[in-house]
Amino acid sequence: MNFKASQIAEFLKGKVEGDPDALVNDVSKIEEGKENTLTFLANPKYTKYIYETKASVVIVNNDFTAEKELDVTLIRVPDAYRALAALLELYEKSIPQKTGIEQPSFIDESAELGEDVYVGAFAYIGQNVKLGNNVKIYPQAYIGDNVEIKDNSIIYAGVKIYRDCKIGNNCIIHSGAVIGSDGFGFAPDENGEYKKISQIGDVILEDFVEIGSNSTIDRATMGSTVIHKGAKLDNLIQIGHNVEVGSRTVMAAQTGVAGSTKIGEECMMGGQVGIAGHLNVPDRVKFGAQSGVPNSIKKEGETLLGTPAMNATDFAKSFIIFKRLPDLYKKVSEMEKTLNNIREK
């Protein structure tokens, strides 16, 4: 289906600059733009491509200023990235939604299913499970006994949700994720053998939570492991037992949080951040990639880098010294030789 630049601009409440009748029927990345496609420019690093892209229409921020003549039609909006997100969401909603129960699949007779539920082939729905309206359970998913999944949530292929866990409205759990596996709890006996501590708690995902592929969220030893409303976890995330992740907190891939740590709201974690157990992280703290966090953080809104994690400004100063260590070592060695020569004389 073809859309004019003017139609797209009207939907986005943007302003056309160029040919309002320019047609697009697909989207593309700006560096790989093709004719009759729509692309966007939000990151300044990609500005050079707007002068050479073959795309027909480009969404840009209102403050974009062209340094050369352009061969494309622009749509100016306050935030190009959000505008593209709105278009992609509209496109996704146009894709026909799956409904119905595929066979073979197993649904226990005690399970309660809402309206317009989809259960894919080879899925397992256990005893006393409650599925809300418009819930999607894709093939080969496992939904354990007493699990509750509320309206509009999507459980993709191969997800495993253990017993008693609760999934809120509008959640998305991607393939291979495991929700509610046992926390890492063991105690040595008098012979030094590790005995398992039973994990009798659960996991609660509040509304609008998204869990990436192959991530694992352990059930609580007692009580609940909780991922609060709007939190977003990337692929390959490990959340330990009794952890609490605040609303709208985001974590990039391979981040790990050890047991009983409490993380505040609107925190951000780069890839491979490691947080030790039984810590507290206040609201709006940001951790750079590969930060190691051995102690609780006291200040809200701080940006931390390095291992052990420290204030970003202090880290930058320390790193400057670190880079100079080879030269400093060479100078110290020369000073030692000079001092030894003086002593010998």
Distance CA(234)–CA(16), nearest Å, equals 35
Sign of CA dihedral 74, 79, 81, 86: negative
Q: Which of 257, 169, 164 is nearest to 219 (CA)?
A: 164
Q: Characterise 344 by phi-psi region: left (phi > 0), alpha (psi -120 to 50), beta (else).
A: alpha
Of 167, 142, 166, nearest in space to 153 by CA: 167
| Chain Cα centroid distance, residue 126 | 29
Q: How many CB atoms lie within 10 A of CB 60?
A: 24
Q: Please state, in angstroms and as integers, the Cα–Cα distance from residue 4 to each residue in 18, 21, 90, 93, 271, following that order.
A: 12, 5, 16, 20, 40
Burial of 178-195, coded b for 16+ CB within 10 Å and e otherwise, reads bbbbbbbbeeeeeeeeee
Q: Could you say which of 174, 228, 241, 278 is catalytic? A: 241
> Which tokens is 101 given?
């129960």
Is 174 among the catalytic positions?
no
- Taking each helix axis from N to C end, the angle separating 312-323 and 325-344, rounded to the nearest 10 degrees, works out to 50
Question: By the 8 A CB rule, do 280 and 261 touch?
Answer: yes
DSSP string of 159-190, one letter each residue: -EE-TT-EE-TT-EE-TT-EEEEPP--EEE-T
Running DSSP on this structure, what letter comes out for residue 141? -
**Residues assigned a catalytic role:** 241
